[in-house]
């Protein structure tokens, strides 16, 4: 049946968007996964199809209403739907490669894309939405974040990447950042390919790549480096 994604968004035309191209697009065409966008405005009750209101207690902006969003959620994902219900949110748990792999091994996901100042806290609690963040910054809405999440998941689905090793050696899969890559020409603006990569000794190549990964991780992501060292104990 494949990975089934349902996205709740005020801008359904944003999907599949870039996910309809390249690897994810080919996988979509094959039926390895599917994505449907649902507009909460379709569940509004007034002639203006209003989905938001002013924040209780005052303040700037508008807040997505709990009742309308709940109606949309309940229609898209009934009680027997086993897919996790996610809310793209800057206060959520970080999206990691491990979490993407966990989602890829499941039946799919229901993803809520917020807009305005946010959504009513009561629908988060009542529908047990899991908040997920793609980074420590603010976007105009959850659609871009949902696209990032889906791209990170879809590429891990069986058969999507042609070479299984490609996924296993990427950044974050081993706890380290990825090593440098080189290809032809042998020389570019005075820069040459490291001799070890052209020598044909695969043991030495593997050792060189591991050392490069360690060096880059230590220099650029000391947090990941410390976590890697802890795992080696």
Q: What is the 3-state secondary structure (H, E, C) of 177-210?
A: CCCCCCCCCCEECCEECCHHHHCCCHHHHHHHHH
CATH 3.40.1280.10, the chain: domain bounds = 3-154
Give the model's pLDDT for residue 229. 96
Cα separation of 106 and 108, whole Å?
Answer: 6
Give the model's pLDDT for residue 166. 57
pTM above 0.85, yes or no: yes
Q: What top-level class would CATH report for the domain 169-232?
A: mainly alpha
Residue whose token pair is 């949902």 = 146
Establish how many alpha carbons lie within 13 A of residue 53's alpha carbon, considering only the half-sphere containing its beta carbon.
Answer: 10
Q: Which helix (H) or strand (E) holds 86?
A: strand 85-94
pLDDT per position in the chain (233 positions), as tens?
699 999 999 999 999 999 999 999 999 999 999 999 999 999 999 999 999 999 999 999 999 999 999 999 999 999 999 999 999 999 999 999 999 999 999 999 999 999 999 999 999 999 999 999 999 999 999 999 999 999 999 999 999 997 564 556 677 888 999 999 999 999 999 999 999 999 999 999 999 999 999 999 999 999 999 999 999 98
Kindly state the DSSP code that residue 41 receives in the 8-state scheme.
G
Nearest Cα to Cα of residue 144 among 90, 98, 107:
90
Give 66's contacts (C-beta < 8 A, 6+ positions apart): 119, 120, 122, 123, 126
Give the model's pLDDT for residue 32. 97
Give the model's pLDDT for residue 162. 75
Give the model's pLDDT for residue 79. 93
**Helix or strand or coil: residue 163?**
coil
CATH 1.10.1270.20, the chain: domain bounds = 169-232
Cα separation of 60 and 63, whole Å?
Answer: 10
Number of Cβ within a 10 Å radius of residue 151: 15
CATH number of 3-154: 3.40.1280.10
């Amino acid at each position: 049946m494949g990975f089934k994604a349902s996205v709740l968004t005020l801008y359904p035309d944003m999907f599949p968007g870039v996910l309809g191209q390249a690897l994810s697009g080919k996988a979509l065409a094959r039926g390895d996964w599917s994505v449907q966008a649902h507009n909460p405005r379709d569940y509004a009750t007034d002639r203006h199809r209003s989905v938001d209101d002013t924040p209780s207690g005052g303040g700037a902006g508008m807040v997505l209403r709990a009742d309308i969003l709940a109606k949309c959620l309940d229609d898209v994902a009934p009680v027997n739907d086993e897919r996790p219900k996610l809310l793209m949110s800057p206060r959520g748990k970080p999206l990691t490669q491990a979490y993407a792999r966990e989602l890829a091994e499941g039946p799919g996901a229901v993803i809520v894309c917020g807009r305005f100042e946010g959504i009513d806290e009561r629908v988060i609690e009542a529908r047990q939405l899991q908040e997920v963040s793609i980074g420590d910054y603010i976007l105009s809405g959850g659609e871009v974040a949902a696209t990032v999440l889906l791209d990170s998941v879809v590429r891990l689905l069986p058969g999507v990447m042609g070479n299984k090793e490609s996924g296993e050696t990427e950044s974050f899969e081993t706890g380290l950042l990825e090593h440098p890559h080189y290809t032809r020409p042998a020389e570019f603006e005075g820069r040459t390919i490291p001799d070890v990569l052209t020598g044909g000794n695969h043991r030495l190549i593997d050792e060189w790549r591991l050392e490069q990964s360690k060096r880059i991780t230590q220099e650029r992501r000391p947090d990941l480096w410390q976590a890697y060292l802890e795992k080696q104990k």
